[in-house]
Amino acid sequence: MSQEETQLPTLDLLRRLTDSHVIDQLLLSPELTRAEISARTGISKPTISESVRRLEAAELLTESGQPQGRRGRAGTFYRLRDDVGVALAISAGPEGLVVETCDLRGTVVERIERAVPSPADSATLDPILAGLVTEALARARGPVRAWALSLAGPVDQVSGRLVQLPDSPFLLDELRPRELIGGLAPPLLQVDNDVNWAALAEHHHGNAGDLAHFCFCYLGPGLGAALVSNGVVIHGYRGLAGELAHVRTTGPRGRSLRLIECFGAWELLKPGSHAIDVPRLVDVLESPAAAHRRIRDEVLRAVAGVICSITALFNPEGVLLGGPWSGATDFASELADRVHGEAAIDTEIRLSALDAGAALAGARLQAVRSAQSALLPRS
């Protein structure tokens, strides 16, 4: 092999790295001149100029005019093309179905929502989900570079299916989103459960930014947990790690029950459903009545028992509490006191900083990141 042939891969790699730097800078700023990109990256202006020409030819960049009011030779501004691509973030849960179309900087440019019954079956959800995605694709300006789907339930990471476990509060059977909508656009559909996506959002935008190892516990109509280590969600063998509802703990009258069974024993589930009746539960947790104070104490004991199990197995830096009844008056502080007194390995208890949109925010974050990478693969 000649010296010239051995150098080609290196030259190609250098070109791709330069192109990546140019794209990265234009993702940070709406428009830049070649001189500004050169100054920001430390790469020579001739090398940047060659990269800009390549990216224009690839229909990724376009000129956006010349700066006004500057002395001396005016440079030309460049920006990403408007039709360079989008990312889709999708959420399916008891609150309904949402599809967000985002540009490659993460700005939501369109949002489509539909209400769904809860609990629901796949025969109900399938056509609504496929219809929303089809509608979003028809409106998208440019190709879909990546998409991510958040589902309210356990997701088998091997198949991408939302699987039915006992006492599911949302889905009555399996949902197969990859088979359903995966063929509508080329990118691989990234599927995960809502609590895992919410934990990702908490790590990047919320109250877990300083925690490398933490557990996010969702306390709402359903119960779930996400285990995060070094910023990465631990999915387990099939992706079903974190099923908080099925952890055994001390329930009413000292009985050993799965956590979700405790709420059935307290008669705090919605009629005909395995979903927790959140408004009634919050009323109980905040009521001064003696009978309610007894139930509140039992709820604290049951949840503390589950968290103590988590700390013994996972040893996190902290545990985040999120969901609509985690913020009941003094609940988090009293729970922290119990865990501190009972856990073999103590840990900090914090409240989530994000609202009910955390799961979709996490899916959006991942979809946009993947779309940026797909724009110019870093291989």
Digit-coded pLDDT (tens) for 132-161: 999 999 999 899 999 999 999 999 988 888
Give the C-alpha distances (Å, rounded to integers) separating 130 from 95, 109, 116, 136, 184: 17, 20, 13, 10, 9
User: 86-198+358-375, which class in CATH?
Assistant: alpha beta
In this prediction the pTM is 0.90
Task: Give, in order, the Cα–Cα distances in Å from 135 to each of 94, 105, 351, 376.
Answer: 21, 22, 37, 27
pLDDT at residue 249, as a whole number: 97
Please state, rounded to an integer, the average pLDDT across all residues of the chain. Answer: 91
Confidence of residue 1 (pLDDT cuts 50, 70, 90): very low
Cβ(215)–Cβ(310) below 8 Å:
yes
The predicted pLDDT at position 68 comes to 59
Residue 204 backbone phi and psi in degrees, to 5: -100, -30
Q: Please state the φ and ψ torsions of residue 98, each to the nearest 5 degrees.
A: -135, 135
pLDDT number for residue 183: 76
Single out the residue of 162, 163, 126, 132 nearest to residue 147, CA to CA. 132
To the nearest whole percent, how much of the chain has pLDDT over 70?
A: 94
Q: Give the range among 134-148, 178-192, 209-223, 225-239 with minimum mean pLDDT.
A: 178-192
Query: What is the distance of C-alpha 126 from the center of its chain?
Result: 21
- pLDDT greater than 70 at residue 112: yes
pLDDT per residue over 124-134, tens digit each? 999 999 999 99
Q: Under the phi-then-psi rule, with left for phi > 0, alpha for psi from -120 to 50, and beta for the rest, what region is 42?
A: left
- Backbone φ, ψ for residue 225 (5° rounding): -145, 150
The helix or strand, by DSSP H or E, that contains position 256, with its residue range, turns out to be strand 256-258
Query: Measured between alpha carbons, how far is 116 from 124 in angstroms, rounded to an integer?
Result: 8
CATH fold of 3-80: Arc Repressor Mutant, subunit A (1.10.10)
C-alpha 193: how far from its chain's center? 8
Query: Is residue 134 within 8 Å of residue 184, measured between CB atoms?
Result: yes
Q: What is the DSSP string of 151-209?
A: ESS-EETTTTEE---TT-SSBSS-B-HHHHHTTSSSSPEEEEEHHHHHHHHHHHHSTTT
Listed by start position, the domains of the chain span 3-80, 86-198+358-375, 209-351
Residue 11: which pLDDT band, with cuts at 50, 70 and 90?
Answer: confident
Confidence of residue 163 (pLDDT cuts 50, 70, 90): confident
- Calpha distance 153→53 (Å, rounded): 47
Is-same-fold flag (86-198+358-375; 209-351)? yes
DSSP character string of 200-213: HHHHHHSTTTT-SE
Q: Are 143 and 88 in contact (CB under 8 A)?
A: no
Across residues 286-298, what is the average pLDDT?
Answer: 97
pLDDT digits (tens, 9 = 90+) for 28-77: 999 999 999 999 999 999 999 999 999 999 999 999 876 555 554 568 99
DSSP string, 326-346: TTSTTHHHHHHHHHHHH-SS-
pLDDT computed for residue 66 by the predictor: 66
For the chain, where are the alpha helices, taking DSSP H only? 3-28, 34-41, 45-57, 122-139, 177-181, 194-205, 259-265, 278-286, 290-314, 331-342, 358-375
The model's confidence at residue 196, banded by pLDDT at 50, 70 and 90, is: very high
Own/partner long-range contacts of 61-67 (Cβ < 8 Å, ≥24 apart): 61/22, 61/26, 64/31, 67/33
**Residue 69: predicted pLDDT:** 55
Which position has the token pair 């920001």? 40
Query: Cα–Cα distances in Å, from 245 out to 153, 221, 229, 258, 337?
Result: 11, 11, 21, 7, 22
CB 244 within 8 A of CB 306: yes
Convert the pLDDT of each residue in 243-285 to its tens digit: 999 999 999 999 999 999 999 999 999 998 899 999 999 999 9
CA dihedral 196, 197, 201, 207 (to 10 degrees): -30
The stretch 323-351 carries a mean pLDDT of 95
Q: How confident is the model at residue 379 (pLDDT cuts 50, 70, 90)?
A: very low
Q: Which fold has domain 209-351?
A: Nucleotidyltransferase; domain 5 (3.30.420)
**Residue 224 contacts residue 240 (beta carbons within 8 Å):** no
The pair phi, psi for residue 149, each rounded to 5°, is -125, 130
Whether 135 and 111 have beta carbons less than 8 Å apart is answered as no
From 265, 261, 228, select the one nearest 244 (Cα to Cα). Answer: 261
Show the beta-strand stretches assigned E in 29-114.
32-33, 61-63, 77-80, 86-93, 96-102, 108-114
Percentage with pLDDT > 90 across the chain: 76
